[in-house]
Structure 1
Amino acid sequence: MIDHTGVTVSDYHKSKAFYNAALGAIGYQLLLEFPAEVAGTDVAGFGEAPKPDFWISRATAEKPAHQQTIHFAFRVASRAQVDAFYQAGLEAGGADNGAPGPRPHYHQNYYSAFVKDPDGHNIEAVCHDPQ
């Protein structure tokens, strides 16, 4: 079972705004933030209260931004949340990587959308329930 995950970002403030909007559309919120003086670099944790489970951190010389793109999929409760995630992600500066829709090649009820974050990471919201 995964407890938490995260990604190093090249533009901390731009990425924080992107994730705050895109993940806010699916019920996540910015729960914790640590400045560089405390954590060695700026760090923000998103999730559903009380515990963050997705983290971003500002790239440093010792820990540069990821060179390879990463894929994260967030499971949501409804197709409407998938749609809201996609719209919020685009409005927050993300790039389309797959509009909301069914993807029956994964399974019959798979409904998802993909948005690239400011560093090009492929972020997905997926609903597995029939509507």
Structure 2
Amino acid sequence: MPKTECRVVGIDHISIRVSDYQKSKAFYGKLFTFLGFEISDEYPGTIGWTNGHTRYWIAEAEGRKAYKIGDVGLHHYAFQLRNRRDVDALQAWLEKEGVTIVDPADEYYEDYYAVFFLDPDGIKLEGMRYGELTEKKKGKSAKAKT
């Protein structure tokens, strides 16, 4: 790998524009409370939440063109969860809240468990856990060797 003077150490935040700020603020406020986020900052027409590692901002859109899955731009945003039980808990919460689930909690790739859902503007979000079964197998193998 070539040497470089600059290195990315993580993703600091994402910021999206929403068509109905109050509706999206209420949706994300409930979602992020459930996911363990707190409000980091709020200004007129924009608000951000954080869990200490990830920040997610929404802001009022200037235009009102609705987002459609498949448009150029963001395909989806995935929240990495602690375990598969958290994915199931998120799905139960989404169902209770009446949120549109586009792909229910399931194994989508080998050892990749996720639920996909939509925000009020149709932006696709995901709660996922990758590698949990592999980690458990490695843990059992290490214990068996000792």
TM class, shorter-length: 0.7 to 0.9
Paired residue type of 2:113? Y
Amino acid at match of 2:25: K
Give the alignment's Cα RMSD to 1 decimal. Answer: 2.2
1:111, distance to aligned residue in structure 2 (A): 0.6
Structure 1 position 87 matched with structure 2 position 92: yes
Give the whole-Å Cα distance in 2 for the aligned partners of 1:110 and 1:84.
16
The structure that has the greater radius of gyration is 2
4+ runs deviating over 6 angstroms: none
Match for residue 143 of structure 2? none
Tell me what 2:59 maps to: 57
Matched residue type, 2:85 = A
Answer yes or no: is the 8 Å Cα contact 1:82–1:100 preserved in 2. Answer: yes
Deviation of 1:65 (Å): 5.7
The 8 Å contact of residues 23 and 85 in structure 1, kept in 2 or not, is answered as no
Q: Deviations over 1:67-114 (max 9, x none)?
A: 35431111111112212223333444421111111112xxx2101001
The match for 1:43 is 46
Kindly indicate whether the alpha-carbon contact (under 8 Å) linking 2:67 and 2:121 is maintained by their aligned counterparts in 1: no
SS in 1 for 2:36: coil
- Paired residue secondary structure (2:91): helix
Q: Which consecutive residues of structure 2, in runs of 5 or more, have no partner in the other structure?
A: 1-9, 137-146
Aligned-pair identity (%) = 30
Deviation at 1:60, TM superposition (A): 1.9
2:31 counterpart residue number? 22
1:39 paired residue number: none
State the distance in 2 between where 1:32 and 1:89 align: 25
Q: How many residues align?
A: 119
Residues 1:99 and 2:104 are matched in the alignment: yes
Contact 1:111/1:127 (<8 A) preserved: yes
- Equivalent AA in structure 2 for residue 122 of structure 1: K
Distance 2:35 2:83 in 1: 9
Distance 1:59 1:93, change over 3 A: farther
Which letter maps to 1:74? F
Contact preservation (8 Å) 1:21, 1:88 = no
User: Structure 1: which 5+ residue stretches go unaligned?
Assistant: 36-41
1:5 aligns with 14
More helix per residue: 1 or 2? 2
Higher relative contact order (CA 8 A, sep 6+): 1
